[in-house]
Structure 1
């Protein structure tokens, strides 16, 4: 028997060969003889025998009447390893989105990362995120919408106008920088925001660093690149994500002022300096 090894050695042993992982998975499903394992994973008999000997030394498997059976300890090793792989795969898939939110100190719940679908803009489709947000806005016709946005674009404005025309009611929170850009570049959209009873725009006291869009139980979270272009769109209907979204929306609403009040204040300040 082998001497007691450092647990990290066991991790390195298992992860050091795809064949070892495949053999462990095979035995986890049901007890097998070496020949059956060799046929299933397309490995040489020598390789299988060597790996099985390593498992047996670590007490992950035992032999009984010629079959290799996994021990309870081996089951735990297998299941923990598979869970780790799933977590690493998840981190690869949503890592950029999660990192963007963490830089914004958004407090997004880690468990929520497994409960949604992700759209990512990349070299193959640089507008994927923008296109998806526009689709989501258009799908909100006739519904109550709550949104936070760190950017203003013509496509967003056009989609929102169409949604309002079809009976939506929108409550939007922006920051002062977005408000200034909207007033300067999108006059008609600003005027509609001021005049349409179904559109409520609030100007937050703090900068907005990510997008958030909710309607019913549908939550959409948008992160942006260094040029403030939409990069990742995460969508979920999970209660954990919904609760987070509601809390973040209310946080931005606290201390926010109606767009009308902010613009009137700007006008008064200009008048007093003339």
Structure 2
């Protein structure tokens, strides 16, 4: 059999769910063709054809009329199952990953799938807002670090409640958020200026994704082109926590304190 980098074998296995079922069955226990016919919903002819294809690729061997999976056959099956898991993960996290990549956030690929994902839907467009608001309300006097590309009344109220409970809040916003806050949410802006437990920084560059960190939970929020929050990942994974810390510190390094810029708005 000629080698083509494994494409032929991958295409062969993926091309039929019956082939996958036969290899899965043999991986669990060696079988005779007749036993496979009883276990897998396929004719004897189909089973024999599949076993021939597996033998051609050295995925199985025949010993005393019984078919056994070889070590390479087992590896192929395991790799196929991992691929299916990755495709399922991509289906689940695709929108989150795509929106972050669109804005060049640099989110690490190994962090995909490390936590719980909340996704806004047509049936529940405020799912992400509600989840982030809930996390703020659950802070209970903890230290909070956050980055937000939008100003939302629910966030302001939850942040005020967190401050009332004794939380320390560090927040990074951009110029657009500052202008909207001054224009539409004056009392919240005044408290951000006056409350010693609140520290607000203004980034000179537009912010295009959200961050939230509190009590060992790190969150990353992906926004669409209209600045609607579409997905939020909550994770305790060290990779996510380190990435959030690095991004937050980098934004703070380039930002100014709110008090230094608000009088120019």
Per-residue deviation, residues 152-187 of structure 1 (Å, max 9, x unmatched): 011110111111111111100001110010000001
TM-score (norm 1): 0.92
Matches of residues 1-80 of structure 1 in structure 2 within 5 Å?
3-4=1-2, 6=4, 7-80=6-79
In the TM superposition, residue 5 of structure 1 has moved relative to its aligned partner by: 5.1
> Normalising by the residue count of structure 2, what TM-score does the alignment of the two structures yield?
0.95
1:76-87 superposed matches below 5 A: 76-87=75-86
* 8 Å contact kept, 1:112–1:241: yes
Question: Is the partner of 1:201 in helix, strand or coil?
Answer: strand
User: What corresponds to 2:159 in structure 1?
Assistant: 160
* Contact 1:206 1:252 (8 Å CA) reproduced: no
SS in 1 for 2:254: coil
Unaligned segments of structure 1, at least 5 residues? 268-274
Instruction: Measure the CA separation in 1 of the matches of 2:124 and 2:39.
Output: 39
Paired residues of 1:141 and 1:164 also in contact (CA < 8 A): no
Seen in structure 2, the aligned counterparts of structure 1 residues 110 and 186 have a Cα distance that, compared at 3 Å, is same
The alignment partner of 1:254 has SS state of helix
Q: Are 1:119 and 2:115 an aligned pair?
A: no
Q: Give the whole-Å Cα distance in 2 for the aligned partners of 1:117 and 1:263.
A: 36
* Distance (Å, rounded) in 1 between the aligned partners of 2:45 and 2:190: 77
Which runs of structure 2 are paired with 1:180-219 in the superposition (5 Å)?
180-219=179-218
CA distance, structure 2, for counterparts of residue 150 and residue 69 of structure 1: 58
CA distance in 2, matches of 1:186, 1:36: 72
